[in-house]
Amino acid sequence: MNRSDILPSTVAWPTCALGAWAAAWLAGRCSPDDVIEALAESADRHEVSTEQSRSATGSGNRMVNLLGSLKPARQLVVRLPSTGDPQGLPPHPATAKALVAGEVLLVDDSDTAGTLALVPEFSTLGVDPPYVTCRWTTFRYADRLDLAHLVSSGPSAGDLEYDLRQAVRDAASIIGGLGGRRSVDAGDLRKELAALTARHRVALPPHALDTRSTRLIDTAAQVEAIVDLAGARRVEIGDTAGQWDSGDSALRGLQTLTRTARAAAVNHTIGELLRR
């Protein structure tokens, strides 16, 4: 099940939470329980399996195996790829899985072994309310990826902040078309957008926050909430097929920007923590 299919009551982007809080743990800034508590916002249960075996290890949120795999980490990098935008990831089963999930946590944990990759996948049980499970599949790339280059090759935080300010204006214009030809209650729309914004907001470790990273994450969450809602109602965007195509392209561009900004903010936080 794709991340976007999970109910808005869960928090998205578990790789961002895992990367940031694991970095705080490795830096001695928090306990393993803090990492587990942060991930509990994404799913009721977390499991771990390897690329070769689909059998799960661990129980509930007691992810001893997952945290154990991160303990030797010297560097952690979050990537949020999408179809047509692999974000520098080479062809590999891990990359294919990450493209479906829309996220991956890369781990440099050895001088000789290839880069470790952790990819989450969600499933639900029941409907009222559903019990959400996140299964982390571990992969090993054949070679070590240049994680520092993956991070530094992206846009600067200043450029991303500028682009996000423009994206807020673009997203605001989209809100006016969310109702299409039928009226939409403004109160209901605000509630939907608030719930989706909260879902996309990554809770970084409080002692690791810096103003710009916080702004990037919060603004990206606001824009992506509008993108999600507009995408769900795409049949009502515009009056002609040409307008629908144009609107769909604009939404994809906004989504790519929010993913890039979110990953940049989280990776900056990870880097600052691990350098300490």
- The top-scoring range by mean pLDDT among 84-88, 171-175, 257-261 is 257-261
Whole-angstrom CA distances from 174 to 3, 25, 57, 82, 252 are 23, 40, 44, 22, 13
pTM: 0.87
| Predicted local confidence at residue 53, as pLDDT | 57
pLDDT band at 9 (very low <50, low <70, confident <90, very high): low
State the residue for tokens 């508590």: 37
| Predicted local confidence at residue 185, as pLDDT | 67
pLDDT digits (tens, 9 = 90+) for 68-108: 989 999 999 999 999 888 999 999 999 999 999 999 999 99
3-class DSSP state of 192? helix
pLDDT band at 246 (very low <50, low <70, confident <90, very high): low
pLDDT digits (tens, 9 = 90+) for 180-235: 545 556 677 888 889 999 999 998 998 766 788 989 999 999 999 988 888 776 54
Question: Quick one: CA dihedral 27, 28, 33, 34, positive or negative?
Answer: negative
User: In this predicted model, which residue has the larger pLDDT, 2 or 219?
Assistant: 219
Q: Are 140 and 115 in contact (CB under 8 A)?
A: yes
3-class DSSP state of 20? helix
Q: Are 35 and 70 in contact (CB under 8 A)?
A: no
